[in-house]
Amino acid sequence: MSFAQRLSELMASRTLTNYQLAKDLDIHPTTVANWLAGKAPRKKTLALLAEYFGVSTDYLLGNEQKEKPATDGQAINEEALKLALFGGNTDVTDAMWEEAKNYIQYIKEREKRKRE
């Protein structure tokens, strides 16, 4: 299964439109349309998509058959998230990581309030 097919499947399972996904990720809707047409996202964006959907980057790319089980609605793929946030920096402290997770939680809560 291709990235475009996998993304389409994940979006459909969550009844997301191109516009809603773009809004949630703070990107242009045309970017989502390009992905669905077969264009691959950048590594950092791929990691953000994996975190957003609670799946691994390998799953998004079609290298795994099953989604990772979500623990609380959307599991955080820590490895992908660290890559996206810190660009492969291996000197990420526990404090930096906790601050990043707190910020992500804040963003999720803010977006949830916007939708209500």
For the stretch 21-38, pLDDT in tens is 999 888 999 999 999 999
CATH code of domain 1-59: 1.10.260.40
Q: What percent of the chain has pLDDT over 90?
A: 19
113/92 Cα distance (integer angstroms): 31
Q: Taking the CB of residue 7, how many other CB atoms lie within 10 A of it?
A: 19
For the entire predicted model, the pTM comes to 0.57
Burial 39-64 (b: 16+ CB within 10 A, else e): eebeeeebbbbbbbbbbbbebbbeee
pLDDT, averaged across the chain? 78
Domain ranges of the chain: 1-59, 76-113
User: What is the mean pLDDT of the segment spanning 43-53?
Assistant: 88
- For residue 95, name the pLDDT band (cuts at 50, 70, 90): confident
Looking at this protein, which amino acid is placed at residue 111?
E
Got the DSSP string for 52-114? HHT--HHHHTTS-SSPPPPSSSS---HHHHHHHHHTT-S---HHHHHHHHHHHHHHHHHHHHH
Under 8 Å between Cβ of 96 and 86: yes
Task: Give the count of beta carbons closer than 10 Å to the beta carbon of residue 35.
Answer: 22
